[in-house]
């Protein structure tokens, strides 16, 4: 009984083992070049390529800037007096030379009248000395007086003439003092806050108001020092156009570059520049933040490729290109200027097949297969309509 049971179990094991061996031996293995277990050779990687383009590329520089007036003048009186009249209002636009404030001028006018009277007195004294000198010359010719008397009269004439000239200069000085009582606009611009009123006592340290020039106006901003050479070359060739836009508006204002600083900031590595704009409609206001854009120079006949074809890592900047044997080769490049989705580069001949898509799976020397541009799209089948 026991022997027959053992024999039955041994036969079952042989049958089961044979079945397992048969299933493994006849199992389905992957076909083709790539094997699922990863031990076989890797097939070519499908990639898409693009040819470099040749075109002129304008180098556009953008930066945030601040609107700054060309000039702002704080008005102070040049004498101690009281305000007689204020001829302007806050925020008013004034023209150069327009009367803004009148000071009490009674003292200055009195001093001017006194100086003018002194001139008239000295002029009369000089005329008298000149008549005496003329008569003495006639008497000297007739030998009625000595030469010494004539010389004395000549000295008196010269002295009276010098006194007259000094008093005329005093009149001019009194006129200058009197002009200080009428304060006029030093330039065309907009008046700021007015800090005095009629009757206010003012001194030389008193701020009356300020006048800011708004047309033309400038925008100050900074650019990286790497742009300095291109800016200098463009400025030598002519006016460099600059465009600004406000943060809350799409309106663009066009001007031109007017100033490049004489030094580069060694800490920030930037250079200060200014652009000048016509501002008749006062669309630009002092202190306002704006976005600036200018073309520093143009890269003539530059080689342009998509930016997503460029790879940058610790080994440098390069692209993958399709070699003659349909393998991926590394071409080192230098990114000259990036704009939008493209970049101007150096290091390419222009006839390469630059790999754009699929490069993440590539290794140098790996085989590639170029995707056909006219490959039909995948057809989607509705599973609900399939028959069991």
3-state secondary structure string across 279-298: CCCCCCCCCCEEEEEEEEEE
45-50 and 270-277 strand pairing: unpaired
Other residues' Cβ atoms within 10 Å of the Cβ of residue 253: 21
DSSP state string for 213-261: --SSEEEEEEEEGGGHHHHHHHHHHS--EEEEEETT---EEEEEEEEE-
Domain that holds residue 92: 79-103+182-207
Give 375's pLDDT tier (boundaries 50, 70, 90). Answer: very low
Say if residue 118 is in the same domain as residue 168: yes
- The HSE-up count of residue 59 (CA atoms within 13 Å, CB side) is 22
Cβ contact 356:49 at 8 Å: yes
Residue with tokens 């790996």: 366
* The overall pTM is greater than 0.85: no
Q: Per-residue pLDDT tens for 265-312?
A: 999 999 999 999 999 988 899 999 999 999 888 889 999 999 999 999
Instruction: State the Cα–Cα distance between residues 61 and 301, nearest whole angstrom.
Output: 19
- The CATH number given to whatever domain includes residue 94 is 2.40.50.100
Q: Is residue 291 part of a domain?
A: yes
DSSP state string for 66-90: EEEES-EEEE--SS-EEEEEE---T
Say if residue 191 is in the same domain as residue 98: yes
Say if residue 84 is in the same domain as residue 203: yes
Task: Record the tokens describing residue 308, joined without a space.
Answer: 């997503």
Q: Per-residue pLDDT tens for 252-269?
A: 899 999 999 999 999 999
Q: Is residue 112 part of a domain?
A: yes
Give the pLDDT of residue 31.
38
- The CATH number given to whatever domain includes residue 290 is 2.40.30.170
Q: Is residue 190 part of a domain?
A: yes
Question: What average pLDDT score do residues 22-43 get?
Answer: 43
């Amino acid at each position: 009984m026991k022997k027959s049971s053992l024999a039955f179990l041994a036969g079952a094991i042989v049958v089961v083992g044979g079945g397992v061996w048969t299933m493994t031996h006849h199992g389905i293995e992957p076909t083709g070049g790539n094997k699922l277990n990863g031990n076989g050779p890797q097939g070519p990687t499908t990639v898409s390529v693009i040819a470099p383009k040749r075109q002129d590329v304008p180098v556009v520089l953008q930066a945030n800037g601040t609107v700054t007036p060309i000039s702002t003048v704080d008005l102070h009186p040049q004498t101690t007096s009281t305000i007689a009249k204020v001829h302007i209002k806050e925020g008013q636009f004034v023209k150069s030379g327009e009367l803004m404030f009148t000071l009490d001028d009674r003292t200055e006018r009195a001093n001017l009248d006194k100086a003018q009277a002194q001139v008239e007195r000295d002029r009369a004294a000089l005329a008298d000395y000149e008549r005496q000198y003329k008569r003495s010359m006639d008497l000297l010719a007739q030998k009625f007086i000595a030469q010494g008397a004539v010389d004395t009269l000549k000295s008196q004439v010269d002295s009276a003439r010098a006194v007259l000239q000094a008093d005329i200069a005093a009149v001019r000085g009194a006129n200058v003092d009197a002009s200080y009582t009428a304060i006029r606009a030093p330039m065309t611009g907009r008046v700021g806050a007015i800090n005095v009123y009629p009757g206010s006592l003012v001194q030389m340290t008193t701020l009356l108001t300020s006048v800011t020039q708004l047309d033309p106006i400038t925008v100050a901003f900074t650019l990286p020092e790497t742009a300095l050479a291109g800016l200098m070359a463009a400025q030598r060739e002519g006016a460099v156009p600059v465009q600004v836009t406000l943060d809350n508006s799409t309106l663009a204002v066009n001007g031109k570059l007017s100033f490049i600083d004489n030094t580069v900031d060694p800490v920030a590595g930037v250079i200060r520049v200014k652009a000048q704009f016509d501002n008749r409609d006062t669309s630009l206001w002092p202190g306002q933040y704006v976005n600036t854009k200018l073309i520093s120079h143009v890269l003539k006949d530059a080689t342009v490729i998509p930016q997503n074809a460029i790879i940058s890592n610790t080994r440098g900047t390069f692209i993958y290109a399709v070699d003659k044997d349909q393998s991926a080769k590394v071409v080192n490049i230098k990114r000259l200027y990036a704009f939008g989705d493209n970049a101007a580069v150096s290091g390419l001949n222009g006839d390469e097949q630059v790999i754009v898509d699929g490069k993440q799976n590539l290794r140098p020397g790996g085989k590639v297969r170029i995707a056909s541009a006219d490959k039909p799209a995948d057809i989607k089948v509705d599973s609900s309509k399939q028959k069991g």
